[in-house]
Structure 1
């Protein structure tokens, strides 16, 4: 499977994503922000980092680059799209997932390992987990607090993907830290599965996010 990894000025987790995608047997390629045509790719990953320095707000400038149109085309063609951390912020900014990821409640950058509950297994990225399974992955963000005005709709449509299990470090609504679109094709998560893809890193719980892509057809 050929997977496009989107690069913006300020992306810094692209190589980590490339590495784990190779581990699971994918054929990853880097794709720069000014590319419009993504038709060659079967799946897309938007990695973490600080696109355009997070000026204005996280994801705001990346949201108006040419590649966003290509990502939307991929979604309309039924291709899975995963946004991690800054990638999640970008997906929310362009309206491909509901709600927003805004400044942490304590207004500080948080970098720590967290226990998470898998709330939905309908996405290609969480299909290999069990519903309500507890997994461990790190977070690293200053604007990860999730908010939506349509929380009941998210519950009804099974669009809550991940939630913090034991504590709510950034003050997210109902401890939500990952959501998807109604179809489950577009998934936005603040924790970093690529940083929990091998046991030597402290956990390999995140690896299934990428193995799930490989099993999507």
Structure 2
């Protein structure tokens, strides 16, 4: 099956008690025009809280429509493209199985898979599902944040070509588990040189703590 950018979604401003800064761009909606992907994000996308969203290491958020099917069945309601706060709604692509450092060519741009999405209370508030964060983590298909390695034009219907796969096996699904419910998996982060320095440091601290425990039984 050919991997495709099914829809490209840009944020619209939303307000509510669940927002962290009084407004939010988590509500992404499909657009029918092409968009320029920049190193800092997509032109025209709304990033309300730039402390935790957007920027080079969270330039674009991708989520597979195949994974959205689970939530439609789980919640008994329609979950349309962009409802996860994703910019890229993909089909035919195993986003959860993508390795950190994997590169995708889409349109005129090239992106690098860099980190798993860890959901927050804004996500749960937007959906009005109080325990969504816990359930989202348990399901284990978080979607991926991407870096923009080569700026360019992207749009719905563009093919997605995986042009590099590192081969270290540290996937987006693995990363989520290590950062949330299975910290004993953290050392494998060191096998992925493309991972952010802060995640390497987290792995080293976990290993150091285990060594300290062994020396002080």
> TM-score range, shorter-chain basis?
under 0.3
TM-score (norm 2): 0.26
| Structure ranking higher on relative contact order (CA contacts 8 Å, 6+ apart) | 2
Greater C-alpha radius of gyration? 2
State TM-score, norm by structure 1. 0.26
